[in-house]
Amino acid sequence: MALITSKEMFQKALKSDYAVGAFNVNNMEIIQGIVDAAKEENAPLILQVSAGARKYAKPAYLVKLVEAAMIDTGLDICLHLDHGEDFEICKKCVDDGFTSVMIDGSKYPFKENVALTKQVVEYAHAKGVVVEAELGRLSGIEDNINVDERQATFTDPEEAAEFVERTGVDSLAIAIGTSHGAYKFKGDPYLDFERLKKIHELIPDTPLVLHGASTVLPEFVDLCNKYGGKIPGAKGVPEDMIREAAKYGICKVNIDTDLRLAMTAEIRRYLAEHPEDFDPRKYLGPARNAIKAMVQHKIRNVLGSSNKR
């Protein structure tokens, strides 16, 4: 077993209607829950680390924990930097042994995004590491903009084709209506599938990435709220929309919020029902099981990546 790039997993996913799950990791229990699920489902796996995760857990711990997960399960795993904001963090992660990095230049004008992405691609490719970039901006309802303004931030298909051509990037994150966090839509959920189809048509060989793809399952929001949480009106991307997206080039689906909700719901429930307990293992153990069950559900029922290893 080894840390591997996402190249082969994406090539397989591109030819089929399933997507690979990319799950955010921040500590040992989250990593263990995810890898145990992927092992049982025999699914390809990307573990991703954000700048916030590196700050929280310290970079060396996360890399070593992922290596430990690989040794324990015997799985090949792709270790990915999520939302690298500049060349330096991407370089650091390449040097630390990551097999994939994201350079997120989506906040810059097209030309600057191209230049920054190219710089990362050059460095990473020379070391056998693959690169994901982002074009278009993910804006949630919290950004307080109307529908037209929101659409204007979506990825332009022609620009996407030009961007891939000019940067040589391995995969591209696109904006079609998803957003990060637990508040993705005010009214009915809407994704711009026509735009996705157009992008896929123009760059059929480029694996596309869907960020902000959590579903925010009501039962977990309700559990959190039942046991003292305050997450009113949370809404995510319906599961059938994720399945649909996987048919049009979406090869990587990013999930963090659903893991956070599952873990928090379980910890809240456990502590409320066992006020006498104060051993962290007592509530972190069930929380780890909740992560595992959530990831297994995603792989089996939403992403369709069971037995695609």
Verify binding: residue 106, ligand 13P, rule CB under 6 A. no
Q: Closest CB to ligand G3H among 92 and 125?
A: 92
Quote the tokens at residue 147: 């529908």
Closest residue by Cα to residue 258 from 304, 306, 293, 225: 293
Which residue's entry shows tokens 């690979």? 20
Active-site annotation holder among 36, 82, 170, 258: 82
Least separation, in Å, of the C-beta of 287 and ligand G3H?
17
Verify binding: residue 211, Zn ion, rule CB under 5 A. yes
Least separation, in Å, of the C-beta of 192 and ligand G3H?
20
Quote the tokens at residue 200: 């896929």
How many residues touch ligand 13P under the rule CB under 6 A: the total is 14
Q: What are phi and psi of 132, to 5 degrees?
A: -110, 140
Burial class (CB in 10 A: 0-12, 13-18, 19+), 222: middle
Q: Closest CB to Zn ion among 174 and 294?
A: 174
Q: What are phi and psi of 255, to 5 degrees?
A: -135, 120
Q: Closest CB to ligand G3H among 52 and 128?
A: 52
Q: Closest CB to ligand 13P among 26 and 113?
A: 26
Closest residue by Cα to residue 216 from 262, 154, 284: 262
Verify binding: residue 80, Zn ion, rule CB under 5 A. no
Point out which span in 35-43, 111-119, 224-232, 252-260 binds Zn ion (CB under 5 A).
Answer: 252-260
CA dist 155 to 38, 173, 233, 246, 267, Å? Answer: 31, 9, 27, 17, 38
Determine whether 82 is an active site residue. Answer: yes
Quote the tokens at residue 225: 């709220």
d(CA 155, CA 250): 14
- In the chain, the amino acid numbered 6 is S
Scan residues 208-267 and list those touching ligand 13P (CB under 6 A).
Answer: 211-214, 254-258
Q: Closest CB to ligand 13P among 212 and 304?
A: 212
Among 80, 118, 150, 180, binds ligand 13P (CB under 6 A): 180
Least separation, in Å, of the C-beta of 173 and ligand G3H?
10
User: What does the binding site for ligand G3H look like in residue numbers (CB under 6 A)?
Assistant: 24, 50, 52-53, 82-83, 180, 256
d(CA 151, CA 210): 16
Which residues neighbour 295 within 8 Å (Cβ) at sequence distance 6 or greater?
Answer: 21, 23, 33, 34, 37, 38, 259
Residues forming the site for Zn ion (CB under 5 A): 211, 254
The residues assigned a catalytic role are: 82
Q: Provide the binding-site residues for ligand 13P, judged by CB under 6 A.
A: 24, 82-83, 180-181, 211-214, 254-258
